[in-house]
């Protein structure tokens, strides 16, 4: 199956003024090994015919945002349409169409049918945990505990585990 080309920047993308609020999810995005996840998702669509589908890695990133921000499928569709930070996280150009709520629902159902959703979310949580990043579910707060000092990661990790009771 062919994928829609969502990684090509459009003229509209070049007009977006860079602002720190657009990069709030960049650190989280950069620590996750998307290659591992993409490899797991690569066999979901095997048909050589039919319309081009959204890339599975993009759809999975959408489900991550849905979990982190506690959004319904409909609300998530609207949020992606209007939020530049969400589009940036999922690598969706401003000139590309947003997946509709039924596409999001069908992709989540496919992952559940293949028993992939929970293991993949656990993999994401593992990456975040390894980097001492806390995601507050249902809110937009992605933060590192204030007691952590990035200069001494080993001590910070141990201190964080004691702090969180892990």
Greater pLDDT, 15 or 71: 71
pLDDT, tens digit, 9 for 90 and up, residues 116-143: 999 999 999 888 888 877 776 655 455 5
Between the alpha carbon of residue 119 and those of residues 38, 107, 116, 135, 137, the distances in Å are: 13, 15, 6, 18, 18
Least confident of 5-19, 22-36, 57-71: 5-19
Residue 55 DSSP class? P
Strand partners, 143: 134
**Cβ within 8 Å of residue 79, ≥6 positions away:** 65, 69, 71, 86
Q: What pLDDT shows up at residue 143? A: 58
Report how far apart, in Å, the C-alpha atoms of 142 and of each of 29, 96, 126, 136 are.
12, 27, 15, 6
The H or E element containing residue 134 is strand 134-135
What CA–CA distance (Å, rounded) separates 29 from 13? 19
Helix ranges restricted to H, 100-152: 101-113, 117-130
pLDDT score recorded for residue 129: 83
For residue 101, name the pLDDT band (cuts at 50, 70, 90). Answer: very high
What's the pLDDT tens digit per position in 40-94? Answer: 998 887 667 667 789 999 999 999 999 988 999 999 999 999 988 899 899 998 8
User: Is this model's pTM higher than 0.95 or not?
Assistant: no
| Separation between Cα atoms, residue 154 and residue 2, nearest integer Å | 43
């Amino acid at each position: 199956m062919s994928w829609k080309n969502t990684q090509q920047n459009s003229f509209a993308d070049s007009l977006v003024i860079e602002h720190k609020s657009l990069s709030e999810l960049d650190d989280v995005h950069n620590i996750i090994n998307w290659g591992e996840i993409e490899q797991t998702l690569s066999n979901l669509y095997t048909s050589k015919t039919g319309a081009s589908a959204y890339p599975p890695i993009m759809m999975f990133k959408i489900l991550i945002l849905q979990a982190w921000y506690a959004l319904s499928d409909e609300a998530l569709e609207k949020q992606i349409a209007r939020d530049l930070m969400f589009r940036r996280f999922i690598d969706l150009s401003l000139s590309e169409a947003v997946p509709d709520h039924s596409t999001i629902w069908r992709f989540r159902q496919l992952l559940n049918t293949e028993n992939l959703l929970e293991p993949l979310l656990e993999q994401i949580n593992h990456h975040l945990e390894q980097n001492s990043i806390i995601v507050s579910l249902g809110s937009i707060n992605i933060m590192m505990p204030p007691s952590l000092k990035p200069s001494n990661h080993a001590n910070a990790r141990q201190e964080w585990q004691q702090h969180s009771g892990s």
